[in-house]
Structure 1
């Protein structure tokens, strides 16, 4: 049986290098790993506990929770906006972490990767995402990381899926996720 990895992309822009990195991850998944890139984060309203009541939870939030419940692991692909993760990722983590005590992310293996224009590849954003995931109860894989710097230049004429180095790196990330998911 394959390890299913739910992938959440923090950039909503169609031509985003992080969206492309998520595509590269799905296309370079090793045998036994299935990557599902979630679409629709932009449709999920900001978390509001007043809406998080049975029968009133927004449909888009229910879709996210259901996708996470069916997955064996989470992979966040994050750009860096003003030194931190995009609001859409933080919002997704908030919806996954609730209701309190019933987080669908509880104990779920989770990793964060990404690419950014700067020289460090968005590590601040990724660190913030790891922190939020850990507080949400996920089993954050601190050793499973990938930060690709200079994205605008590196991927100007080359999709990440066609970058041999990146293909190997994302496959290694997925292998790390699978190893932990299978041991749970």
Structure 2
């Protein structure tokens, strides 16, 4: 049986044995489970990509009208976002410290482990190292659309070109991982 469970209760329920498995970001669940006392050797991560899913992760999304009316704003936002992301990747401890200064409930060591895991496994991927931040493989995106359609039927199935517009991205040289 698959049930929808809220993000805040996934790790507690899994740690307590109330559920057998949970879907979510590996870096969130793994670190949360360890923080709840689950030994690292007892945590089994099964990345969806290892089982054939072609899905991309998080994205910055805008609607077509805003994109058409404000292309320079989108380009500027993506440029600024990229600069911030590069700084986070370069200096994760400082990034976490910035959060800690604003929220004293944040557990510095836990969040640093989480961020480093996210960077290693989800942000600076082999694809990102090869093609730069923000690059999209249109064949993979098309395959992911097909996979999503197996579970969630589309009223109108989008194409990869309907979903991703590379012209807003900073130049490839700026998006390279150094």
Shared fold (TM-score, shorter chain, > 0.5)? no
Larger proportion of helix: 2
Larger proportion of strand: 1
Normalised by the length of structure 1, the TM-score is 0.24
For the pair shown, the structure with the greater C-alpha radius of gyration is 2
